[in-house]
Amino acid sequence: MIHAIEADGLVKTYPGDVRALDGLSFAVEEGTVFGLLGPNGAGKSTAVKILTTLSRADSGRATVAGFDVVREQARVRRSIGTVQQGSTVDREATGRENLRLQGQVYGLRGRELEGRASELLERFGLADAADRIARGYSGGMERRLVVAMALIHRPSVLFLDEPTTGLDPEVRADMWTEISRLANEQGLTILLTTHYLEEADNLASQLAIVDRGHVVAEGTPEGLKADLRGDAIHVELAQSDGADVGAALDSLTGIREITVDGRSLHARADDGARAVPVVLQALEAGGVRVASVSVARPSLDDVYLRHAGRTFDKAEAEAGEVKR
Amino acid sequence: MTITLRDSWYMTVRHLRALWRQPAWIAVTLVQPIIWLLLYGALFKRVVQIPGFQSGSYIQFLVPGVIVMTAFFGAGWGGMPVIDDLNRGVIDRFLTTPVHRVALVSGRIVQGSIGVLAQSLIIVVLALITGAHFRNGVGGVAIMLFLAVLLAAATTAWSYGVALYVRKEETLIALMQFLLLPLTFLSGAFMQLSLVPGWIRHVADFNPLNWAVEGGRSAALEHTDWGFVASRTGFLLALLAVALWFAVRAFANYQRSI
């Protein structure tokens, strides 16, 4: 099997002993859309920076398009297109000028360059705005322009770092359509990072869930969910009292993976609907008051909870607190 | 090498285009040195009466001073748009393309140099109108402008490197304000150095701005000493080489830290 991207034991520590990557390893098959899913601060962007030669790992090695990201930087750079977080557009230039300069640094010239620029402007719905200064573009237009720029030299590996963060819901949906279309392109490998579970679920054919700088689970979105076997039961408690709650359910058969997180109780059962009355009864008997209860098919959120030991929302909130 | 030069030019076009779209900025930039020349010329007019002052016209004496000061200030602030590019992620984007780091810096240098030349030519014309005499003709003036461009190039590279280290506009502003004016006054830009206190004269010997001022003055205006001009040119070339090395180091440091 040919791997478009291989990361092996990447470690990166920032000043102040912030360990962004802690032995991150994964491999991306050629021609697929690979999702790196994780909460903010999990190390996804750091991984992209290292793989796109922007930054360098403290240890570990990685190849992109078969080239070593440290020893063969020039070749890696020619093979990749990068959409970094945020906009990265030159706002004082027009859309076409942005594309032209991006093409020029890859050695595109003359009619070939102009043709390619026009083609991409057309394809990303920017033809009418092509000769307007990018300062006046909407967030969605800027993001589409950046993707167009990343594609100008026909890269074989495309990196999309949080491509829909900060976009309105409808613009996000448009972006998803664009990315799905790119996925069908012959031979193009896409590495997508996201902290939207839904986005990973929709777009990625393969997924690695990242937590605290390393991969905690890997597989197809369906496979990861299927591994969970059974339904997720979520109970919202009237008050938080962790020890009692755990004890109340421990003796029940068929209820697995019980985690209590503040006032949230998560558990898993083969048949959720049938387990609910049993759980409620046990909680009542244990003197725990319940505010609400719900049952759902496994989601990626559950996958994350199982492998990272905390809910995705909680991890996001924690990341927000320690954000530099 | 050719690719780096070509990339530098693409970057230069990018910067020039951005400035071209700000006519007010262009107007102020071109008028500024005229105001300096006329203002300082009027303010210190009587300086020529100091015994031992060797130039007959203060405006003429001032020409290289104002040219170099203008070049130096413009270049000193060269790091500001770099911080903007950093914040916008534009530099990160270029760093993942094949473009050479030196081309990113030299794009700013060439853009700045074109500005310096435009400003300087206005000063030269104005000086001619007010009766200045360039004794070595076009060649002498060209060398004077070349030295100003060299200083501007080195200063741009320094400012670029510092921007990559500090990454905050406030810090860069504070640093540049700390340096720009003192270096301007610790030189022969406004006053003949034989008439200033000894310590300033000694400091001026090591002041790159003074290399450009006195080298340019010697080449274009008074007491031409080609050996002196050559040595100052050499100093400035060496400074430029060190500044470029520093900027490339600053890129490496920046990339390690992100």
- Residue-wise pLDDT for B127-157, tens only, equals 999 889 999 999 999 999 999 999 999 999 9
Q: Does the pLDDT at position A320 exceed 80? A: no
The minimal CB distance from A56 to the residues B21, B94, B255 is found for B255
Contact (CB<8Å) A54/B258: yes
What is the rounded distance in angstroms from the CA atom of residue A162 to the CA atom of residue A86? 8
Contact check, Cβ <8 Å, A101/B88? no
Q: How far apart are CA B212 and CA B203, in angstroms?
A: 14
Pick B223 or A80 by higher pLDDT: A80
Higher pLDDT, A86 or A1: A86
- Better-predicted residue by pLDDT, A223 or B153: B153
Choice among A111-125, A267-281, B69-83, B173-187 with the minimum mean pLDDT = A267-281
The stretch A215-234 carries a mean pLDDT of 86
Q: Is B10 on the interface with A (CB under 8 A)?
A: yes
| Contact criterion met (CB below 8 Å) for A85 and A160 | no
Give the residue carrying structure tokens 């003429």: B60
CB A155 within 8 Å of CB A133: no
Helix (H, G, I), strand (E, B) or coil at A83: strand
User: Which strands sit side by side in the sheet containing A33-37, from one edge to the other?
Assistant: A80-83, A157-161, A189-194, A33-37, A206-211, A214-219
Q: Which value, in Å, is the radius of gyration of the alpha carbons in chain B?
A: 19
Burial class (CB in 10 A: 0-12, 13-18, 19+), A132: middle
Instruction: For residue A184, name the pLDDT band (cuts at 50, 70, 90).
Output: confident
| Alpha-carbon gap: B76 to the closest alpha carbon of chain A (Å) | 22
What are the tens digits of pLDDT across the range A248-287?
777 777 788 888 878 888 888 888 888 888 888 888 888 8
The complex scores an ipTM of 0.90
Question: What is the residue range of B142's domain?
Answer: 2-257
CA separation for the pair B255, A56 (Å, rounded): 7
Reading phi first (left if > 0) and then psi (alpha if -120 to 50, else beta), residue A165 is in beta
Per-residue pLDDT of B179-223, as tens digits, reads 999 999 999 999 999 999 999 999 999 999 999 999 999 999 988
Which is higher by pLDDT, B154 or A174?
Answer: B154
Residue among B177, B183, B215, B8 at smallest CA distance from B109: B8
Of residues A155, A153, A204, the one with CA closest to residue A176: A204
pLDDT at A226: 80
pLDDT, residue A242, reads 54
Confidence (pLDDT) at A323: 45
One-letter amino acid identity for A324? R
Q: Which two tokens stand for residue A150?
A: 């990343």
Nearest-angstrom CA–CA distance, A175 and A30: 22
pLDDT at A243: 56
Cα–Cα distance measured from residue A216 to residue A220, given in angstroms and rounded to the nearest whole number: 14
Looking at the 3D structure of chain B, how many domains does it have?
1
* Between A130 and A169, the higher pLDDT residue: A130
Whether pLDDT at A324 is above 50: no
Task: List own/partner pairs for B185-191 with CB under 8 A and 24 or more apart.
Answer: B186/B210, B187/B65, B187/B213, B187/B214, B188/B65, B188/B213, B188/B214, B188/B217, B189/B62, B189/B64, B189/B65, B189/B66, B189/B68, B189/B69, B189/B213, B190/B40, B190/B44, B190/B62, B190/B65, B191/B47
In whole angstroms, what is the distance from residue A3 CA to residue A61 CA?
A: 14
DSSP A128: T
Both tokens of residue B155? Answer: 């200063």
- What distances in angstroms separate CA A63 from CA A76, A218, B200, one per listed residue? 8, 19, 57
Strands A255-261 and A264-269: antiparallel
With an 8 Å Cβ cutoff, is B18 touching chain A?
A: yes
Q: Are the CB atoms for B2 and B8 separated by under 8 Å?
A: no
- Is A157 a residue whose pLDDT tops 70? yes
Quick one: average pLDDT of B64-82?
95
β-bridge mates for residue A298, sequence order:
none
Spatial separation of the C-alpha atoms in residues A312 and A305, rounded to whole Å: 7
Please report the domains of chain A, with CATH numbers, ordered by start residue. Answer: 3-225 (3.40.50.300), 229-297 (3.30.70.980)
Q: Stretch A224-245: mean pLDDT, rounded?
A: 77
Question: What percentage of residues in chain B have a pLDDT greater than 70?
Answer: 100
Flag whether pLDDT at A321 surpasses 80.
Answer: no
Chain centre distance of CA A259: 24
Q: What is the pLDDT of residues B80-132, one digit of tens each?
A: 999 999 999 999 999 999 999 999 999 999 999 999 999 999 999 999 998 89
- Judge: B97–A53 Cβ closer than 8 Å, yes or no: no
Radius of gyration of chain A (CA): 23
> How much is the pLDDT for A256?
81
Which of residues 116 through 175 in chain A touch B, CB cutoff 8 A?
A: 133, 149
Cβ-nearest to B93 among A53, A84, A92: A84
Distances (CA, A) of A99 to A117, A140, A197, B202: 6, 16, 31, 52
Q: How far is residue A226's CA from residue A33's CA, in Å, rounded to a whole number?
A: 20
The pLDDT of residue A266 is 85
pLDDT of residue A241: 62
Nearest Cα of chain B lies from the Cα of A53 at a distance, in angstroms, of 6
